[in-house]
Amino acid sequence: MSHFELTRSAYFKAALTSRYPQLLILVLMLAGFLFAITAGVLGTPVGNSNFSIVFIWIAWWAVLILVAVPLLGRGWCAVCPVPLPGEWLQRGAVLGPAVGHKPHGLNLRWPRALRNIWLQSVMFLLLALFSILLLTTPLVTAIVLSGMLATAIGLSLVFERRAFCRYLCPVGGFLGLYSQAAPIELRIKDKALCAACAVKPCYNGSAAGYGCPWDVFPGGLKKNSYCGLCLECIRTCPQDNIAINLRPFAADLASPSARLDESFKSFVMLGSAMIYSAVLLGPWGNLKDAAYRIG
């Protein structure tokens, strides 16, 4: 199967470049997210009867793992509500950017030594370690969700772009890892056009849209790991040089990663799958007892 450009369709591209469909989904997701926090605090303490547990760890997690990641890669990041309030505050706008508008907050660069996914792996391991408590206690779920939202807002007012999503989100690391197998990709069409472009609005922003919130230059994209499919580059490119393509599954895996942090994340995911299978599905009662004592 060769690559097929989905954005050749005028209707499909219009749906992507318009901000309203994406905004509608984002607002609905944010409402559900806030309701899950409220339900975790005020609702029943019985996990399998509480909206926060059912919505987040059963419905959303199942759709994410079984449908969204295998088919859309990091497509969830395009509609994730966690960075939304902080991004609105940072931008000072809900929709398109105002001409000459400067971001609110300190707008600092993220420390160079931390520009990797080590912290994401640590965050994921913490959630995994206390997953039994997290998956059965609505109040704990509400505290974790509130903490993620507050952290994303705080980082948006201190650092530029989506620092939380790029470097701290516990879900982002494994989404980036598995997105390499997805049949969807965002890539440039002609490298020469990118090289000749002096202002790079896809990265720096323009009156048509924001600079890449993920701190990625589309002209250098070779795999899906760090592109959050926010669609801003499609809106800002003056040469119509950015496309959404349909491609063979696992196309990115033809060029294995040489980064130690990405390799470690792979071991984290593999190890988690093995441990969960042994503890939750295996016949070893002593492992289950140990897990329950921890949780």
pLDDT in tens, the chain (295 residues): 578 999 999 999 999 999 999 999 999 999 999 999 999 999 999 988 999 999 999 999 999 999 999 999 999 999 999 999 999 999 999 888 876 678 889 999 999 999 999 999 999 999 888 888 888 899 999 999 999 999 999 999 999 999 999 999 999 988 999 999 999 999 999 999 999 999 999 999 998 999 999 999 999 999 999 999 999 999 999 999 999 999 999 999 888 777 899 999 989 989 888 888 888 787 888 887 877 776 5
Q: What is the pLDDT of residue 16?
A: 93
Token reading at 77: 């990041």
* Residue 216 CA to its chain's centroid (Å): 14
* Best CA proximity match to 224, nearest among 40, 56, 15, 73: 73
Task: Specify burial of residue 102 (Cβ count, 10 A radius: 0-12, 13-18, 19+).
Answer: exposed
Q: Exposed, middle or buried: residue 41 (CB in 10 Å: 0-12, 13-18, 19+)?
A: middle
Question: DSSP string covering 32-55, please?
Answer: HHHHHHHHHHHS-S-GGGSHHIII
- What's the token pair of residue 225? 């790991």
pTM for the model: 0.92
| Cα 244 to Cα 241: distance, rounded to the nearest angstrom | 10
CA distance 167 to 122: 11
| Spatial distance between the Cα atoms of 210 and 204, rounded to a whole number of angstroms | 7
* Vertex 256 angle, CA 197 and 79, to 5°: 60
Residues 6+ apart with CB under 8 A from 148: 82, 164, 169
Q: Output the pLDDT for position 101.
A: 72
- The sheet that has 184-188: what strands, in order across it? 4-5, 242-246, 184-188
Residue 157's Cβ-count burial label (10 Å; 0-12, 13-18, 19+) is middle
Read off the amino acid at residue 285.
G
Q: Which residue has the tokens 């942090």?
A: 261
**DSSP-derived secondary structure letter, 7:** G
Separation of alpha carbons 160 and 213, rounded Å? 8
Q: Give the chain's largest Cα–Cα span.
A: 64
* Nearest alpha carbon to residue 16 among 198, 237, 166: 237
